[in-house]
């Protein structure tokens, strides 16, 4: 055989091999086992908070939530096990157990909190059943998911779990404008790849034992119109006053997140809420108009300088025209709050993360640093420096 013939045979063999390889289908991914579909999450967090203006009553930072106490706080110990319904295993579940001072502030009425506990963190145990629910995916269209039990709210940009937030402290919107958890049922369906619709009845705001024999309704439109951008429109409406079913409370909540820029996270949150014949305004007997409203907006930005180092900034405004949500002033008086928060986060080792945070709160009137036995606010501003340390096990 001539040299030319050998080259022709070799070229033909290469072409056949390439054609066969090109025609082969990509091997199918091995389906996950049941254990592989269960997602575990656990962390512990401690913090120290210094009020630069000097603390008022009881060494507290007014209008704060998880950083309410000055000095050292054991914030949270959490263990979570969750499984989303899948094609292979259509059932799902979620169990979240928490302990610490943060857990104490999340109590729902009827679970570690009685009807005589006006505030969830007074005379109540420092542990909580944050979530306990079951779920099932009904083979209808793209799949109709049914979820029932106790679960966290659909509303809000920030969440209870500190490691999943850009900042250590929580916004006014998180602490004052929306609920934390619900007991009820939700239906979720995705008519398209970029839209998921969720809705269902719930007992109310942070209520497991119904206090008025009437359900509220909550829902969400979750959109992913293009890559790296998500936007949610959330809402809840229904009666929340004890032994009263005729005066509903409603909140509309918008959130958005964009991660299309390298190392950058951008977020936004807008809330608007109102309640007819708000109970505390009615009880005061000082106003003819007893309807209440509140609204606020927050913007978020974070930049990852390295795999270990991140900086984050939050800017926020919250308006409480009747002072029913903040209880910072006499009922009927307008309370306006601004805050700016800067957070430096560093991954120290594996799941160990440290956060150094500065926050400035400002109000239109004196609402901070309560003195005279905790009755008289003496300052329009509040500045704190926080040092927080958490460790994630999973």
**Residue from 41, 81, 47, 257 nearest 161 by CA:** 41
383 within domain boundaries: yes
252 within domain boundaries: yes
Asked if 153 contacts 227 with a C-beta cutoff of 8 angstroms, the reply is no
pLDDT tier, 20 (very low <50, low <70, confident <90, very high otherwise):
very low
Beta strands in the chain (DSSP E): 39-51, 71-83, 91-99, 127-138, 144-152, 181-192, 195-202, 216-226, 229-239, 248-258, 264-275, 292-304, 309-320, 335-349, 352-363, 368-371, 376-379, 381-392
- Name the DSSP class of 68: -
364 within domain boundaries: yes
pLDDT confidence of residue 6 = 45
Can you tell me the mean pLDDT for 225-247?
Answer: 95
Residues 6+ apart with CB under 8 A from 77: 43, 44, 98, 99, 100, 103
Greater pLDDT, 17 or 201:
201
Asked if 302 contacts 312 with a C-beta cutoff of 8 angstroms, the reply is yes
375 within domain boundaries: yes
pLDDT confidence of residue 22 = 42
Instruction: Tell me the CATH number at 163.
Output: 2.40.160.40
pLDDT tier, 285 (very low <50, low <70, confident <90, very high otherwise):
confident
* Stretch among 76-85, 113-122, 129-138, 253-262 having the lowest mean pLDDT: 113-122
> Is residue 21's pLDDT more than 90?
no
Distances (CA, A) of 32 to 26, 71, 137, 373: 18, 46, 17, 60
> Is residue 192's pLDDT more than 70?
yes
Question: How many Å apart are CA 241 and CA 84, to the nearest integer?
Answer: 34
Greater pLDDT, 209 or 12:
209
Q: What angle do CA 161, 162, 167 make, to 5 degrees?
A: 140
pLDDT confidence of residue 26 = 55
255 lies in which domain range? Answer: 141-392
Helices (H), the chain: 3-23, 34-37, 101-104, 172, 279-284
> Is residue 13's pLDDT more than 50?
no
Can you tell me the mean pLDDT for 223-238?
Answer: 97
291 within domain boundaries: yes
* Stretch among 207-211, 233-237, 267-271, 346-350 having the lowest mean pLDDT: 207-211
pLDDT confidence of residue 99 = 98
CA 208 to chain centre: 19
Can you tell me the mean pLDDT for 213-218?
Answer: 94
Residues 6+ apart with CB under 8 A from 208: 108, 109, 110, 111, 150, 183
Question: How many Å apart are CA 273 and CA 254, to the nearest integer?
Answer: 12
pLDDT confidence of residue 340 = 98
129 within domain boundaries: no
Question: How many Å apart are CA 189 and CA 220, to the nearest integer?
Answer: 11
> Is residue 337's pLDDT more than 80?
yes
Q: How far apart are the first and last CA of the chain?
A: 66
**Residues forming beta bridges with residue 349, ordered by sequence position:** 352
**Residue from 259, 246, 254 nearest 273 by CA:** 254
Question: How many Å apart are CA 226 and CA 222, to the nearest integer?
Answer: 12
pLDDT tier, 25 (very low <50, low <70, confident <90, very high otherwise):
low
282 within domain boundaries: yes
Tokens standing for 312?
A: 């984050």
Asked if 130 contacts 181 with a C-beta cutoff of 8 angstroms, the reply is yes
Number of domains within the chain:
1
Exposure on the CB side of residue 220, measured as CA atoms within 13 A: 20
Question: How many Å apart are CA 152 and CA 375, to the nearest integer?
Answer: 33
24 within domain boundaries: no
* DSSP assignment of 163-213: GGSSSSSPPHIIIIIS-SEEEEEEEEEEEETTEEEEEEEES-TTBSS-SSS
pLDDT tier, 58 (very low <50, low <70, confident <90, very high otherwise):
confident
């Amino acid at each position: 055989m001539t040299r030319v013939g050998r080259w022709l045979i070799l070229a033909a063999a290469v072409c056949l091999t390439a054609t066969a390889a090109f025609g082969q289908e990509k091997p199918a991914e091995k389906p996950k086992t049941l254990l592989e579909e269960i997602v575990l999450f656990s962390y512990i967090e401690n913090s120290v908070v210094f009020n630069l203006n000097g603390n008022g009553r009881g060494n507290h930072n007014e209008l704060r939530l998880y950083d309410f106490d000055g000095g050292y706080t054991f914030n949270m110990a959490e263990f979570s096990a969750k499984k989303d319904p899948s094609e292979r295993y259509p059932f799902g579940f979620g169990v979240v157990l928490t302990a610490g001072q943060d857990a104490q502030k999340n109590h729902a009425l009827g679970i570690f909190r009685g009807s005589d506990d006006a505030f969830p963190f007074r005379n109540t145990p420092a542990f909580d059943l944050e979530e306990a629910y079951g779920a099932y995916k009904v083979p209808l269209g793209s799949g109709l998911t049914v979820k029932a039990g106790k679960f966290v709210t659909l509303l809000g940009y920030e969440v209870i779990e500190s490691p999943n937030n850009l900042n250590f402290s929580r916004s006014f919107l998180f602490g004052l404008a929306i609920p934390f958890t619900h007991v009820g049922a939700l239906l979720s369906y995705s008519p398209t790849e970029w839209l998921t619709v969720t809705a269902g009845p719930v007992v109310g705001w942070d209520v497991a034992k119904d206090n008025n024999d009437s359900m509220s309704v909550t829902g969400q439109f979750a959109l992913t119109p293009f890559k790296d951008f998500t936007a949610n429109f959330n809402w809840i409406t229904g009666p929340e006053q004890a032994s009263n079913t005729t005066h509903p409370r409603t909140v509309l909540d918008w959130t958005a997140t964009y991660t299309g820029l390298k190392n950058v996270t951008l977020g936004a949150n807008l809330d608007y809420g109102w309640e007819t014949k708000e109970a505390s305004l009615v009880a005061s007997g000082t106003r003819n108009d007893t309807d209440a409203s509140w609204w606020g907006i927050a913007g978020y930005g974070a930049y990852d300088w390295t795999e270990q180092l991140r900086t984050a900034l939050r800017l926020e405004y919250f308006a409480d025209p009747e002072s029913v949500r903040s209880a910072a002033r006499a009922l009927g008086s307008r309370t306006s709050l601004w805050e700016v928060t800067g957070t430096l986060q560093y991954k120290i080792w594996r799941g160990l993360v440290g956060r150094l945070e500065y926050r400035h709160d400002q109000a239109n009137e004196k609402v901070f640093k309560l003195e005279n036995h905790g009755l008289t606010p003496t300052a329009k501003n509040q500045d704190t420096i926080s040092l927080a340390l958490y460790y994630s096990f999973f």
